[in-house]
Structures are given as C-alpha cells and as structure tokens.
Amino acid sequence: MAKKSLIQREKKRQKLEQKYHLIRQSLKKRIRSKVSPLSLSEKTKIREKLQSLPRNSAPTRLHRRCFLTGRPRANYRHFGLSGHVLREMVYECLLPGATRSSW
C-alpha cells in the first residue's frame, strides 16, 4: 500500500488540474491561433501567464495510481489496477472475462 500522504498529494494535483484546466487551454489556444497572428511581445505575455499558474496544475504532473492500493507503477488503464492486484483478482475470479494464462 502506498503512503497516504502520496495518495493525498496526487488527489490535490487532480483538483488543481481541474481548477485551472480551462484557463490553461484558453491561453494555449490564444498562442496557437492562426486567425490573428500575435506579435512576439504578446506571445511572451501569454507565456508568462501560463508560467504563473501553479506548477502542480499541469496535466503532465498527474500520475495514474492503483484504485485499491495506490501503487504508482504497472497500472492497467482499462481496469485501473496495478499488475499484481489484477492478477490476484483474476485468480479469485473477480474480474469477468479475464482468464488466467496457461501454456
């Protein structure tokens, strides 16, 4: 099980990302807009606004964690579980449609 402080930190990052998502998208859209070309000084002002946003509000700072244990590695997106938890659940027949491999 992951430390509770790390799990809480990840939840805080998710909240910040949701809070600043629209602001970040609108600023990026203004930089990339081809309809009205911006001067270099206008682009730098917009970039400064982007950089002034909290660092943890960037979506790249988010990390997927296991739904049950909070483990940050070996996560399967489809199930939201880490590898060893997924394996245990398949062995106990808790995941419908998943089969154990045997060769």
Superfamily of domain 64-103: Ribosomal Protein S14/S29 (4.10.830.10)
Does the pLDDT at position 92 exceed 80?
yes
Least confident of 50-54, 78-82, 95-99: 95-99
Domain with CATH 4.10.830.10 in the chain: 64-103
The pTM score is 0.74
- pLDDT in the model for residue 20: 96
Judged against a pLDDT cut of 90, whether residue 99 lies above it is answered with no
| pLDDT tens digit sequence for 19-71 | 999 999 999 998 888 777 778 888 899 999 999 999 999 999 998 999 899 89
The radius of gyration of the chain from alpha carbons, rounded to an integer in Å, stands at 20
- Measured in whole angstroms, the distance separating CA 35 from the mean position of its chain's CA atoms is 31
State which amino acid sits at residue 8: Q
